[in-house]
Amino acid sequence: MATYSQFAEVASLVGDPARATMLHALMDGRALTATELAHAANIAPQTASGHLGRLLTAELVSVQQQGRHRYYRLASPAVARMMESIMRVAWEGKPVSVPPTGPRDHALRTARTCYDHLAGRLGVRLTDALLARGRVELDDDAGIVTPSGMKFFHKIGIPAEGLKPKGRRMLCCPCLDWSERRPHLAGALGAALCTHCLGEGWVRRVRGSRALSITPKGERAFREEFGVRLD
């Protein structure tokens, strides 16, 4: 069980603006080098290395050596859920009437990655559609795929391995969306669905952001397969 001092240590690490920026840069599930993270946080490479060392010690990020480069990623989906939850709390209290500050903010609210699964309006509406049609069932912290859900995911092309838990990771569970303030689908199934949407060309990554753009092919697939419209 985590102690109060451990809680305070994690809160302190995440509360630093540079470290928070680097963690958010890893929220799309990809691995980045220290140089790339330094650029994202607008700090010197040596400063970024010091921050990454502290994040590694706290097991908030992991690192993999490949050739001459070291690639950093979030240590687990739990870290991504923590970051998403902090964003939701940080958003609380802002007047609803405040307009978007720019197209990038609008894109993030429409569709984005939350670590390795779909978030934003797209992620929430897909989750709503799956629940309404009885393809998944979710409670506060876990979920199941129903028999009709198994048939549906097989039909749209998600392989059987995407419908199984991954090690200690749940098959599916809710993740509270910071911008919609409602759950989107996480877990192994959420990751498989995100991978499928990218692979099929239904969504595309937006360079330099974890926002996703929905393609015309995706609009049609989401409408015909899931009954979801985003207009």
pLDDT in tens, 34-70: 998 999 899 999 999 999 999 999 999 999 887 777 8
* Helix 4-15 and helix 77-91, axial crossing angle in degrees, nearest 10: 70
pLDDT in tens, 150-178: 999 999 999 877 677 766 778 899 988 87
In whole angstroms, give the CA distance from residue 182 to residue 91.
Answer: 13
Take residue 133 and report the two structure tokens written for it: 């049609």
Domains of the chain: 4-75 (1.10.10.10), 98-226 (no CATH)
Q: What is the pLDDT of residue 162?
A: 66
- The mean per-residue pLDDT over the stretch 110-136 comes to 94
- Among 76, 34, 80, which Cα is nearest to 59's? 76
In whole angstroms, give the CA distance from residue 110 to residue 5.
Answer: 37
At residue 144, φ and ψ (nearest 5 deg) are -135, 160
Longest Cα–Cα distance in the chain: 53
Q: What is the pLDDT of residue 2?
A: 60
Give the other-Cβ count within 10 Å of 78's Cβ: 12
Does residue 73 surpass a pLDDT of 70?
Answer: yes
Taking the CA atoms of residue 228, residue 107, residue 116 and residue 226 in that order, the dihedral angle to the nearest 10 degrees is 10
> How many percent of the chain have pLDDT more than 70?
91
- Among 116, 30, 38, 113, which Cα is nearest to 73's? 30
Could you tell me the end-to-end alpha-carbon distance of the chain, in angstroms, rounded to an integer?
A: 45
